[in-house]
Chains A and B, each alone.
Chain A
Amino acid sequence: MYRYDEFDNQFVRERTRQFRDQADRRLRGDLTEDEFRPLRLMNGLYLQLHAYMLRVAIPYGTLSSRQMRRLALIAERWDKGYGHFTTRQNIQFNWIKLEDTADILDALADVEMHAIQTSGNCIRNVTTDHWAGAAADEIADPRPVGELLRQWSSLHPEFSYLPRKFKIAVTGAPNDRAAVKVHDIGLRLHRNEAGETGWEVIVGGGLGRTPMVGVTVRGFLPQHELIGYLEAIMRVYNLYGRRDNKYKARIKILVHEIGHDKFREEVEAEYASRPHPSTEVEERELKRIAAYFAPPAFESLPRWSPAFEEAKLSHPAFARWAKNNLGPHRVDGYAIVNISLKPEGGIPGDATAEQMRIMADLAERYSFDELRVSHAQNIVLPHVRKGDLFAIWQALEDTGLAAANYGLAGDIIACPGLDYCALATARSIPIAQSIARRFANSAKQDEIGRIKINISGCINACGHHHVGHIGILGLDKKGEEFYQITLGGSSAESASIGTILGPGFAGHEVADAIETILDTYLKHREPGEEFLGTYRRLGAKPFKEALYATA
């Protein structure tokens, strides 16, 4: 894992000191709310429906046990004993007091964490594949580049007052688990015909009120040109991005308005016109960073673990969990453990302080001290020996973390919605809970198979509803909540934006509607075909007919 150097330490500590002084001045009345708001937002402190909310960055979703324990401590000492893992691999604390915030930031700085650039019109936390460094299909670990981008974008003077917020995602694998096509910039590592690796640079994707799949501006960019090229993109955006209307200020609008050919021309012209100093420094820095992400000391194990196979035979519940919640590891004898934070009736992404500590203990004991946060609001233990899986599952069972629904209908992405969020127009969590209850029968969930159900409580789309195979958007209709359903979205390599199926539903009708849609899928699917495949083959018609037949 990356460790802060003296510069990282210094700027984080300085920012915390500054914020302590700013908060004191606000509490004394020396600063008005208008003066203070941008300062607190720059440090991740929002004012939500019920209280202040602190959003803490988890760079590229990677945590050590020590850091996870510190998050548990914050939840316990300064919040109400829990935290919420977000769709951008961050964590939010819902009940923070302004007067405690500087102490919390100090506690975070102790473990090399902060809340800088988790708000505002700047480059936000860089996200990656939550299986990075472990996935069997990976070309290379994307986290060294994630860390390089973190260092480059942190407090970058030229890019701290952009037209709008800016999100970058990186994947080192052909199967895109990082949703790179729906980010402001998405980076996808791939090999050319000569066998060299380089980056596909995708720009102008995004969700929100104007969802778009990004366009490729460079098919193959050598690694050492990455920072220079990204700077050219940022400059074009900074220069031409709209600042007159915040709803038209994201880079996707610029790419759309001038057209992607023109946008590409502008970027290439900017890149060509820049002085091209030697990239020696970047290469040296990337090498220095990459050393921190060197693979852990994996043992040489057989692919097949007798202990694992025996445990599956004697414990059907474990066998089901193992079938659904494990990912293929690149090293024989190891597995990727996906801990679902979606227990039936639970709140997607929430974990108690005790659960955080148990996950930290498991990571320390069984996974080289590493944890990951996924954008689907789950936690990953990336490197687990197959022989240890049964022990891990038992520990997870004891703390309510053994939901065997990873990637299934119960594994729902949901933003906090109107239960917490000041921007929301409707609740998301109770809808997720009602759907999870409807599919509580594990046999039915297994029969349905891989499906992504994503729920947002407003048009800003933090719950990624546009790219859910089934998306649900909560809206306000004359002061009452109602929900729109979209089908056919995907954030994977064949990304697509979902299409609205028809008239919306009241909250208590949503689970019925989802069941009707999934029953229609079961009726029409071909052998081995996942929901998205059936939808793409047949279109919306059979689903519409089933859903609105009696209406």
Chain B
Amino acid sequence: MSAVEKGQLITANRLRDGIAVFLTTSGNWSESIDEAVLAVEPEAAAALEQRAREDERKTIVTGSYLVDAERRDGRVRAAHIRERMRALGPTVRTDLGKQAEGKGAFFAAPEGE
């Protein structure tokens, strides 16, 4: 099992359709949280923020912010449930959205809830 990498990723909503997206290593925005770039150092997080603000000016995304997260075995898990929900889509509609498309996060609704 590979080591757990903890840090911060940056997320936003794509302007034209509002879909929750995550900034990737290549500087694009992905619908999949697993492709997010994780900033371990504060300087790196600040650089991500600046990049996101530029993309807001370019009308690619809106409302960007940093989120605590960790990468384990190539999957990314946000620290807070709200962010895991954003990455996953509605847990009550596994037939559509990111879960159905395989873009969901490292988070499943506990059984029986």
Known: A33-B56, A347-B92, A427-B113. A51 touches B19 (CB 8 A): yes
Most chain A CB neighbours (cut-off 10 Å) among B15, B18, B97: B18
The residue in chain B whose Cβ has the minimal distance to the Cβ of A427 is B91
Does B28 make an interface contact (CB < 8 A)? no
Chain A residues close to B by CB (< 8 Å): 26-29, 33, 47-52, 80, 94, 96-99, 347, 418-420, 424, 427, 429-431, 433-434, 476, 479-481, 507-508
Known: A29-B59, A508-B113. A419 touches B91 (CB 8 A): yes
Would you give the shortest CB distance from A251 to chain B, in whole angstroms? 31
Q: Report chain B residues within 8 Å CB of A480.
A: 81
A430-B109 in contact (CB<8A): yes
Known: A49-B86, A97-B17, A99-B17. A430 touches B92 (CB 8 A): yes
Alpha-carbon gap, A508 to B109, bound state (A): 11
Chain B residues close to A by CB (< 8 Å): 13, 15-20, 56-59, 62-63, 79-82, 85-86, 89-93, 96-97, 109-113
Would you give the shortest CB distance from B53 to chain A, in whole angstroms? 12
Alpha-carbon gap, A245 to B45, bound state (A): 33
Alpha-carbon gap, A476 to B79, bound state (A): 13
Q: Report chain A residues within 8 Å CB of B111.
A: 508
A419-B18 in contact (CB<8A): no
The residue in chain B whose Cβ has the minimal distance to the Cβ of A99 is B16
The residue in chain A whose Cβ has the minimal distance to the Cβ of B58 is A29
B113-A49 in contact (CB<8A): no
**Which of B19, B81, B90 contacts A476, CB < 8 Å?**
B81
B79-A479 in contact (CB<8A): yes
In the assembled complex, 29 residue pairs joining A and B whose CB atoms fall closer than 8 Å, in A order, are A27-B59, A29-B57, A29-B58, A29-B59, A47-B13, A48-B18, A49-B85, A49-B86, A50-B20, A51-B20, A97-B16, A99-B16, A99-B17, A419-B85, A419-B91, A420-B90, A427-B92, A427-B113, A429-B90, A430-B91, A430-B109, A433-B92, A434-B113, A476-B81, A476-B82, A479-B80, A480-B81, A507-B110, A507-B113
Would you give the shortest CB distance from B57 to chain A, in whole angstroms? 7
B113-A98 in contact (CB<8A): no
Alpha-carbon gap, A479 to B69, bound state (A): 13
Known: A29-B58, A418-B85. A47 touches B18 (CB 8 A): yes
B81-A50 in contact (CB<8A): no
Q: Report chain B residues within 8 Å CB of A26.
A: 15, 59
**Which of A33, A49, A430 contacts B62, CB < 8 Å?**
A33
Q: Report chain A residues within 8 Å CB of B110.
A: 507-508
The secondary structure that dominates the A interface is mixed
Q: Report chain A residues within 8 Å CB of B19.
A: 50-51
Q: Report chain A residues within 8 Å CB of B86.
A: 49-50
The residue in chain A whose Cβ has the minimal distance to the Cβ of B81 is A479
Q: A29-B57, A51-B17, A97-B16 are in contact. List 20 more A-B contacts (CB 8 A).
A: A26-B59, A27-B15, A28-B59, A29-B58, A29-B59, A47-B62, A47-B63, A48-B18, A51-B18, A98-B16, A99-B17, A419-B90, A420-B90, A427-B109, A430-B92, A430-B109, A431-B113, A479-B79, A507-B110, A507-B113
Would you give the shortest CB distance from A453 to chain B, in whole angstroms? 16
Q: Report chain B residues within 8 Å CB of A347.
A: 92-93
Alpha-carbon gap, A46 to B30, bound state (A): 22
A49-B20 in contact (CB<8A): yes
Alpha-carbon gap, A94 to B79, bound state (A): 25
Would you give the shortest CB distance from B101 to chain A, in whole angstroms? 12
The residue in chain B whose Cβ has the minimal distance to the Cβ of A33 is B62
Alpha-carbon gap, A396 to B48, bound state (A): 53
Q: Report chain A residues within 8 Å CB of B62.
A: 33, 47
Alpha-carbon gap, A479 to B67, bound state (A): 13
B82-A418 in contact (CB<8A): yes
Alpha-carbon gap, A508 to B110, bound state (A): 8
Would you give the shortest CB distance from A348 to chain B, in whole angstroms? 10
Q: Report chain A residues within 8 Å CB of B16.
A: 27, 97-99
Q: Report chain B residues within 8 Å CB of A27.
A: 15-16, 59
A430-B113 in contact (CB<8A): yes
Would you give the shortest CB distance from A96 to chain B, in whole angstroms? 7
A418-B81 in contact (CB<8A): yes
Alpha-carbon gap, A94 to B90, bound state (A): 10
B81-A52 in contact (CB<8A): no
**Which of B59, B92, B96 contacts A429, CB < 8 Å?**
B92
Alpha-carbon gap, A51 to B109, bound state (A): 20
The residue in chain B whose Cβ has the minimal distance to the Cβ of A480 is B81
**Which of B17, B90, B91, B112 contacts A52, CB < 8 Å?**
B17
Would you give the shortest CB distance from B3 to chain A, in whole angstroms? 23
Alpha-carbon gap, A431 to B92, bound state (A): 11
A33-B113 in contact (CB<8A): no
A80-B56 in contact (CB<8A): no
Would you give the shortest CB distance from A355 to chain B, in whole angstroms? 15
Q: Report chain B residues within 8 Å CB of A418.
A: 81-82, 85
Alpha-carbon gap, A44 to B57, bound state (A): 24
Would you give the shortest CB distance from A344 to chain B, in whole angstroms? 14
Would you give the shortest CB distance from B21 to chain A, in whole angstroms? 11
The residue in chain A whose Cβ has the minimal distance to the Cβ of B62 is A33
Alpha-carbon gap, A80 to B15, bound state (A): 19
Q: Report chain B residues within 8 Å CB of A431.
A: 113
